[in-house]
Structure 1
């Protein structure tokens, strides 16, 4: 989600002045962390299975999905933890997107990465829930479809065309946080270190005080996941020390705390299973441990080229799987039965994701990123020119 990040190749960050935004041309590209690509793809598959076989829906012809899959759902119940894993990895790799880039180049890279596949998914899913399957659309219309195309529709009070887009809104706000750090020149070793402590603790304080607005603005539930991923990156790039590991463990503990508050409630309401909070504490710790093992041990040197494609497919798989998957299950299961329907639906989703990646993302991502960057640089230059007389008078 690391959901929207297509790769985890990390550039060696120079130590000069502690900055993380030195020119990228100064250093060679480091080997790709291929296993993190594979881990992201696994997370997407787990989320997919959660939505198909555990999430509360009746498209298998049973009152709840778990009734159709009584044994499998005991495991896929935990598939929603793939979202936590996405956020941890995103915290790790987003510094790559920020490194060596001005604010305009960072925004351009994110626009090029996020929007091409997203626009296809919004239009495809919008057509499904507005035209083909309006009962699932619950009154959604063209106005909400157009608002969703911006990805800022929650600010407009508009519903998601597809419920899974809620994670994109969280990711987008995290990118805006990183953009603010770039603009404030705080994307430095010291700045990131301090930020990875202050941000999650402010979120915790807002939660404990019951301040809903501050909790929402600070993304209190997800801040330690992102911040923990950022600290794993700092350890990966700048080495081990007590301070970095202490901050990482703080964020692991906070992530476990917040997940333990919400996940058991969701397990009961959305799946119908009772799960103790400590189960989710262990899962969160295990997710951090997996990312650490794949980035901080010799496993980071594993180079399997097929995992790059797996990582690239993660985003379109996530965008396309839920509503279209439910529609396919609803239409295929009565004829084919569940044991054929599930693998066929998954195969269709993976094929669609590949087509989107091959014929939409690959040809459009770089040109869109370049055009966005150029436009922002032009606006920035014009703004400086207009403001220069005012600044000179001062």
Structure 2
């Protein structure tokens, strides 16, 4: 069963690193008013989110197959994922609330404090913000809600029947959900179903060598193109190629892959702080937008590594102690 080697898993880490850097550069690029062409190019970094979704489809199924998961261990699986992702997420929630409260006391700050409303706070903690009237404290949190929806779907339904006909039908049916027209679908799993499904189909094919999963991968790719566009499909196909064909460990990209979750969550606050500090104490730097961009990237990486070391690594170590199979 365990035929996926470490080089292929390192491909996943490379993708995580590239995707997280793309998202950071996308958000930082809004300040590049003097370089509209570069800004427009970097804004495509938002597609890094689609890479994250493809990775989740691949790696979650890989982990469950490897551990011979069954549905009776659903709450173990959920606890394992919660211990892995919640500490950094909850810390970022508190840092966001605290930061906006502090900034509200500065006359030059154009925003305002985020009021503490228990229902909104609770909705964040259990990842149901898209199903409520409350906005996200930090817009990057929306992808975590989709990931959590994916965990529930896979943990409860995908392994109900551990046979290839059921799984193949599930993959295709899941992909087709992207065409269901419902309110607020941008923040719902079904909108990104074919991207997740491409990751599922790929790992199933690699681990079983059944051609039906290759067919599922192709069908899901067609649905990704129809629902999104050719660029999105090309990006996912390129990501799949990295996973399958990668033969090397690029240490710098593995490093970015390791800190990608912390980098994704914390970089909006780093950008916010740096923007305020630059405007207040180093206004002359605002004319050197590329230098400011590099500062933002470097500081985001440094802070992300600190949080990875202090928060994520202990969380990962603890989550590994939870078994999801007999």
* TM-score grouping bracket, smaller chain normalisation: 0.7 to 0.9
- Structure 1: segments with no counterpart, 5+ residues: 1-10, 14-28, 55-64, 260-280, 378-394
Aligned with 1:343 (options 294, 297, 307) = 294
Alignment match, 1:285: 233
Cα displacement (A) at 1:249? 2.1
Alignment match, 1:278: none
Deviation track 1:159-206 (CA, whole Å, cap 9, x = no partner) reads 211011111111110111011126x623543332211101122432x2
Q: 1:146 to 1:332 in 2, by over 3 A?
A: farther
Cα displacement (A) at 1:310? 2.1
Aligned with 1:229 (options 191, 195, 199) = 199
Alignment match, 2:96: 125
Cα displacement (A) at 1:305? 4.7
1:302 aligns to what SS in structure 2?
A: coil
Q: Using the alignment, how far apart are the partners of 2:284 and 2:115 within structure 1?
A: 29
2:5 aligns to what SS in structure 1?
A: strand
Cα displacement (A) at 1:230? 0.7
Q: 1:154 to 1:176 in 2, by over 3 A?
A: same
Q: Check whether the contact 1:231–1:247 (CA below 8 A) recurs between aligned residues.
A: yes
Q: Using the alignment, how far apart are the partners of 1:217 and 1:321 within structure 2?
A: 21
Q: Check whether the contact 1:116–1:365 (CA below 8 A) recurs between aligned residues.
A: no
Q: Using the alignment, how far apart are the partners of 2:320 and 2:209 within structure 1?
A: 32
Q: Check whether the contact 1:112–1:366 (CA below 8 A) recurs between aligned residues.
A: no
Structure showing greater radius of gyration is: 1
Deviation track 1:236-283 (CA, whole Å, cap 9, x = no partner) reads 222262x32332122122222322xxxxxxxxxxxxxxxxxxxxx232
Q: Check whether the contact 2:57–2:197 (CA below 8 A) recurs between aligned residues.
A: yes
- Indicate whether 1:94 and 2:65 are aligned: no
1:67 aligns to what SS in structure 2?
A: coil
Alignment match, 1:331: 277
Deviation track 1:317-359 (CA, whole Å, cap 9, x = no partner) reads 0001124313312431524232322111211111111111111
Q: Which has the higher contact order (CA 8 A, sep 6+)?
A: 2
2:37 aligns to what SS in structure 1?
A: coil
Q: How does 1:11-90 map to 2 (within 5 A)?
A: 12=2, 30-32=5-7, 33-54=9-30, 65=31, 67-90=33-56
Q: Using the alignment, how far apart are the partners of 2:290 and 2:210 within structure 1?
A: 48
Alignment match, 2:226: 257
Q: Aligned Cα RMSD in Å?
A: 2.9
Aligned with 1:360 (options 301, 307, 311) = 311
Q: 1:77 to 1:308 in 2, by over 3 A?
A: closer
- Indicate whether 1:219 and 2:189 are aligned: yes
- Indicate whether 1:310 and 2:279 are aligned: no
